[in-house]
Chains A and B, each alone.
Chain A
Amino acid sequence: MKNLEELKIMRERVKKDLQLRAGKHRVKIVVGMGSCGIAAGARETMNEFLNLIEKSNKTDIIVTASGCFGFCAQEPMIHIYVEEKKPVTYRNVDTEAAQEIFNNHILNGKIVEKYLFSKGKE
């Protein structure tokens, strides 16, 4: 530690790091919400995930939406991004599938092959 200036710079850096961490989530669920997804019931899927998160009392999981993934016949589709792991895409995710994926993949890290679309692709 040399002077006040350096201390200030250090303080700013630590503050930024802290913000980054606070805004970070362990798991991000992205639900495809194009016209195709919505018509196939993607809103029910998203709400099922929100309910499951609420029930499990987890605060490090977020749900967001994206547009059409480009495989409309297999909607509702979701991407799951688990921290430090490659993203996984699921297809035909109805509420039942959502429960299975939440309990196995998100809580326990086991991929549910039944609804698997692809692994490791963006």
Chain B
Amino acid sequence: MKNIADHLFDIFENSVNAAADEVIIRIAFSDNIFYCSISDNGIGIAGDEVLDPFVTSRTTRKVGLGLPLLKKAAEDTGGYLRIKRINQDGGTNLEFEMNMSHIDAKPFGDLPQTFTDIYFAWPEIDLKIYIINDCKKDKVLDFYEIREDERKGLSNSIKNRRKILSIMQEEMKKLNIE
């Protein structure tokens, strides 16, 4: 994992594996602190053991490194990573904070690209992206709406790829993320 964009894509896959069909990502960046929260409506986690690299539900290999790696990357900069079950029925919320001015901070990487990758990689997931800025929360992207245009024939996947990319590039620029 070279950058935060890779990490984000990687932990997004956890939500997919947890049978989620709706994921909400909230992003904030101010005073060099990058905050990101990811909530899904999947089956939920049992406890903290997901942060142990030698615990995994997967059968193809015996270690699970996605979350522990991100936790390490966050803590290396003096930040944190927390993960919790949302309620009894399931759902998982994960949030992490990184100090991007820290010498050990990983670069952002291409975040807008990550979102188009998610759009193509998992067509069954409805992702909503919110940007938090000055205590205001704005929804900037809703994959359900974008796919609806595709279903109605108003747009196609190539046009939508460009659309997602340009919206997110704009938003990241506003936040001074590069």
Distance in angstroms between the alpha carbons of A43 and B8 in the assembled complex: 12
Q: Which residues of chain A have C-beta atoms less than 8 A from B113's C-beta?
A: 43, 47
Indicate whether B54 reaches chain A with its CB closer than 8 angstroms. no
- Whether A115 sits at the interface, judged by CB under 8 Å, is no
Contact A47 B17 (CB under 8 A): no
**Set of chain B residues within 8 Å of A64, measured between Cβ atoms:** 120-123
Q: Among A38, A63, A68, which residue has its beta carbon within 8 angstroms of that of B120? A: A63
A28 to B156, CA, bound (A): 17
B9: min CB distance to chain A, Å: 6
Known: A65-B120, A68-B61. 10 other contacts (CB 8 A): A35-B65, A38-B9, A39-B2, A39-B6, A46-B117, A63-B120, A63-B121, A64-B121, A67-B17, A67-B60
Mark out the residues of chain B between 157 and 175 whose CB falls within 8 Å of any chain A CB in the assembled complex.
158, 161
Q: A-side interface residues toward B, CB under 8 Å?
A: 31, 33-35, 38-39, 43, 46-47, 50, 54, 63-65, 67-70, 72
Give bound CA distance, A35 to B9, whole Å. 9
A68 in complex: contacting residue of B58, B114, B123, B158, CB < 8 Å:
B58
Q: Does B66 contact A (CB under 8 A)?
A: yes
CB distance from B20 to the nearest CB of A (A): 14
Does the CB pair A47–B61 fall under 8 Å?
Answer: no
For B117, the chain A residues whose CB sits under 8 A away are 43, 46-47
CA of A46 to CA of B58, assembled, Å: 23
Can you list 13 pairs linking A and B with CB atoms under 8 Å apart?
A35-B65, A35-B69, A39-B6, A43-B113, A46-B121, A54-B158, A63-B120, A64-B120, A64-B121, A65-B13, A68-B60, A70-B60, A70-B61
Interface residues in B, total, Cβ within 8 A: 23
- Tell me, in angstroms, the Cα distance from A72 to B1 when the chains sit together: 14
Residues of B within 8 A of A47 (CB): 113, 117
A120 to B161, CA, bound (A): 32
Cβ contact of A38, chosen from B6, B60, B64, cutoff 8 A: B6
Query: CA of A63 to CA of B122 in the docked complex: distance in angstroms?
Result: 10
The reply on B10 being an interface residue by CB < 8 A is: yes
Tell me if A50 and B120 are in contact (CB < 8 A). yes
Indicate the member of A35, A54, A69 with the most B CB atoms within 10 Å. Answer: A35
User: A33, B13: Cβ atoms under 8 Å?
Assistant: yes
**Cβ 8 A contact of A69, one of B60, B123, B161:** B60
B60 and A43: CB pair below 8 A?
no
Structural contact, B123 and A35, CB atoms closer than 8 A: no
Chain B residue nearest in CB terms to A46: B117
* Nearest CB on B from A28, distance (A): 12
CA distance A35 to B63 in the complex (A): 11
